[in-house]
Structures are given as C-alpha cells and as structure tokens.
Amino acid sequence: MTYSNSCIIIFSLISLIFFIILTFDTTSHLSKNKINKKYNVSKDVPHYFSNGKINVENFNYSGICHEVFKYKPHNKKDLWLSAVGFKDINYWRKIRADTILSMGLAKSSIPHADKVVLLLEGLEIPEFFKISDANGFKVVKMKITTNVTGQDATRRFIAFEEFMRENRHKYERVLVSDQRDVFIFADFFSTFSEEQINFVAECNYDQINCIDFTERGNFNVMNYTYGKRVSEEFRSNKSLLVNVGTVFGGSEKVYQYLKLYKDNIDTTKWKKWFYDQILHNHIYYSYYYNRPETNSTLERCTQRFCFRERGTATYDVSKKKLFTSVTGCSPVLRHKYLAKGFSIDNDGYSTKIKDVK
C-alpha cells in the first residue's frame, strides 16, 4: 500500500467518524426539541408581555403549575372569537384600557391562534381598528337584520352563530367570549381538547363563594323571562349562575351551542338587560347539565379559568407576578382579579356572593 493510499483511507475514516458524531448530535438535539414541544408548552410560547405592572415572563408555570397544559399547544386551527359594538365614543373610552391589556396579553400568550372580533353595527372607531391590528386581531364587520331592537349583549350571539356557521370547519378548538374583560396570560388552548365543551360559573377560587339564583337580581330576570315556576325551581335548587361571557371547546360543539342559543332568542324579551345571561343559563341547564353524552363541564374557579379570583389572588410587586396563594401557580385565564396592589375589572360583587360548598 502506498503512502498516498494510506492517507486517503485515514482521511476517509476520520470523515466517517465526524459524520456519525454530527448525525448523533443533530438527532439528539431534534429529539430534545420534540420532547420540549410535547411537554413544555410554557417554553414553546414566549410569555413576554410586560406593561410596568405585570411581567408574564416571571409568572409560575413550572412543576405542578405546568400540569394544566395537558393538550397540544395553540395553533392556527384555534380561534378566539369575541364581539363588540360602539353606540357612542364614551363606551370606547370606558373599555379602552382593558382592551389594550386583553389584546396585548393575547398577542403574547396565543400568537399563533386566530383572533377575531366581530364588530356590530354602530360607530367605527379608528383607534380600535389600529389597536386590534397591532395585536394580531382581525375585525370583521357584521350586520344583523332584525325587526326588533335588542341589547348588543344578546345580538352578538346571532353574529357568533353566523360567523361559526361559515367558518367552523377551519378550526378545531374555539373560545367564544366577551371582548374587553378576558385576560389570557398563558396558552389557554393547550388546557382543553376539541372533544369537550366547557361552561363557567361565577365563583371565587377553590369552588366556593359562587353566585346562584337565590340572588334577587338573577331570580327576577329569570322570572321575567321564563315565569314563576321556572324561576322558583332555579332558586330552590340553588342553581349556580353560569356566566355567558366564556364558552370554550371543540369547534363543532361550540357551534351547536351557539345554534341552540340563537334558535331560543325571544326578541320580545331581549331588550331586557341581563337577558343574555338568563337565556344562557336556561340552555345550559336544559341541554347540558347532568348529561354525560355532551362531554360538558362546569368550571368553577381553577388555575385554568376563574371568573373572579380574590382572597387567594396574590401580586408580587417586585417580580410583577400574579399567582394563587394556595398553590403558588400563576393564572392562565381570568375575567376579574382582585389582589392587594393589583386588580383587573373588579366589579364589587361582595354583597351578591353566597357560599356554595
């Protein structure tokens, strides 16, 4: 064997060894990425929102606080659908700060999901369009043709049903909610599957202090809408008040709920404030409550969702972090939050709350 041939063989062996090492390292790296993508949702999505009061990057979603993220991370087949209408400029001024916070959080926590706001008839405010666009929200103008004027709170469900009827095939998971006061701090879509539909009660943390139909205002509107027999039944059962502002689950399941809602609207009653909530409760207790075949749940107050967290709501001013005192975990989605030094959309419901064990 010549010296030249020996050099060629040695060089070939060195090249082969280097290729094997490089291939192993690349495979190992890809494997780690797959593990992270499957199990570490909080690292898949950059929770970077910060506004001087809170910094979501410091929120606690590790260890036991990560167990809430049971399903695949959010993607383009997920939809957050909300609606709003502006009768005057003062309403926009009232909700502007909450809108900026809500949309800014969503841009951070669910950037890959579709985010659509249905704009009902009324004023078109340029600043609202600008803020929506800057945060990745698409505004879709809707026209609802009816002979009877009703509250936008109920009319939005006609728009929801129409939009979902045409677009539900594009999505797997859907969140339908209020527009201004839904605050998503982390990947909410990775907390539920498309096989479910989820409703929410108006409770504080740990499934106590829930509003029910012994509260006079709820009872009175139920009585106005459905009569004495039905309202007395809701009151005697101490049926929990189910909040109309959040429903989430599989696209088809959410659409079927919206269709039920639209089909049951009584336009002779829908001028009444709170009618939207009462109709929602009547549908839930008529079609979903205690019916396992619907695969529905009634969320009270957990890390995933809480309508109104207080008492356990904690604010660390130095870290600009929110967490629940009994678990140390940071919230995923909240409607209202009241902690010492920090609150969002605190509505002062203290006199309406009854303990429910």
**pLDDT range class, residue 203, cuts 50, 70, 90:** very high
Range of the domain at 229: 49-352
Which residues contact residue 224 at a Cβ distance below 8 angstroms, ignoring those fewer than 6 apart?
Answer: 269, 272
What share of the chain in percent tops pLDDT 70?
82
Structural contact between residues 154 and 143, judged by C-beta atoms closer than 8 angstroms: no
Q: What is the pLDDT of residues 52-91, one digit of tens each?
A: 899 999 999 999 999 999 999 999 999 999 999 999 999 9
Helix (H) or strand (E) holding 44: helix 41-44
Specify whether the CB–CB gap between 54 and 320 falls below 8 A.
yes
Q: Does residue 9 belong to any structural domain of this protein?
A: no
Residue 291 lies in a domain: yes
Residue 306 lies in a domain: yes
136-190: per-residue pLDDT in tens?
999 999 988 666 678 899 999 999 999 999 999 999 999 999 999 999 999 999 9
Strand spans (E) along the chain: 78-84, 114-119, 138-141, 173-177, 183-184, 197-200, 246-250, 296-299, 305-310, 313-316, 321-324, 333-339, 342-344
Question: Does any domain span residue 37?
Answer: no
What CATH number corresponds to the domain at position 86? Answer: 3.90.550.10
Residue 120 has pLDDT above 70, yes or no: yes
242 close to 198: Cβ distance less than 8 angstroms: no
Taking 60 as the threshold, does the pLDDT of residue 2 lie above it? no
Q: For residue 43, tell me if it sits in a domain.
A: no
SS3 label, residue 225: helix
- Tell me what pLDDT residue 47 has: 52
CA distance 303 to 330: 7
The tally of domains found in the chain comes to 1
The answer to whether position 20 is within a domain reads no
Written as six digits, the tokens of 86 are 């502006």
Residue 23 lies in a domain: no
> Position of tokens 């704009």?
119
pLDDT band at residue 19, thresholds of 50, 70 and 90?
Answer: very low
Whether 4 is covered by a domain: the verdict is no
Count of CA atoms in the C-beta half-sphere (13 A) of 200: 27
Q: What is the pTM of this model?
A: 0.84
